[in-house]
Each structure stands twice: as structure tokens, then as C-alpha cells.
Amino acid sequence: MDYPYLGNLTLKNKTLSELRNMIVTGLRGDYLVDPKVTINIVKYRNIYVNGVVNSPGGYEYQPGLTVQKAIALAGGFLAKYRKTRGIYLTKEEETEGLSQSQIEELLKGKHEVELNETVHPGDTIYVVSSFW
């Protein structure tokens, strides 16, 4: 993010409080005596739900989102599948640039997640099922 007087700021992996402190520290002294900074998130990165759900795709992240709520956003599980074989959660940086077959290999090594597990912006949920 380019901020006037401070230049380019790196926001990745920063909390709102850390970002606020970074801006306050940068502005204090040279430009302002006691700067007051407020930070609001306008839009989060989407989360993605793939696999045997009624409407796979990207959905707007909402604070407090869980795997169960994300699956509900995607229309729930497809009725024709009797049981889930697994629900997996990946972080954006884990799958960046991977092919479909590489993602399938990655999922084989991951553990299943619980429905109440927290989802973060950029996460992808894979719902894998079988007919049996």
C-alpha cells in the first residue's frame, strides 16, 4: 500500500493494531505531533469452497466464518453423496501456482478439518465425498 509521506507499506501478515502503530510512528515527529489514525477494512479477500457442494466458488469472507458456515454459503452438501470422505482447508499460499493434480497430492497429506474450524480470508475449503 502506498501511503502519503511514508511511501510503500507492507501489509501482509500485519494486524490492524500493528498497521496503525506503523503509520502513527511514521507520521509522528516530522509531520504531526500526536497523529490519530483509524483503520477500517473495506473488503476482505474471498474464501473458496470447492468439491461436492451445491454452488462451488468464491464467497466474500465474513469475520467469524467457520467451515460449516462457508459450506452453507455454498449451498450445503450435494444430496446425492451419502457421506463426506473429507473436508480439507488450505491457506492461499499453500496452493498458489499448483496444478490440479498437485493440489490433490497436497490434500492427501493433510488432515481433515472440523466443521467449527475458523476460516480466514483467502482460504480454500475442499469437500471430498464418495457414493458409499
User: What confidence score (pLDDT) does residue 84 get?
Assistant: 64
User: What confidence score (pLDDT) does residue 82 get?
Assistant: 57
User: What confidence score (pLDDT) does residue 89 get?
Assistant: 92
User: What confidence score (pLDDT) does residue 70 get?
Assistant: 97
CA 120 to chain centre: 3
Consecutive 10-residue averages of pLDDT for the chain (132 residues): 81 87 86 86 91 94 94 89 76 84 83 91 88 51
Q: Considering the domain 46-130, what is its CATH architecture? A: Roll (3.10)
User: What confidence score (pLDDT) does residue 12 get?
Assistant: 79
Residue 103 and residue 124 in contact, taking contact as beta carbons nearer than 8 Å? no
Q: Where are the domains of the chain?
A: 1-40, 46-130
Check the CA dihedral 102-104-110-114 and report its sign.
positive
User: What confidence score (pLDDT) does residue 100 get?
Assistant: 83
User: What confidence score (pLDDT) does residue 118 get?
Assistant: 95
Structure letter (DSSP) for residue 115:
T
pTM: 0.73
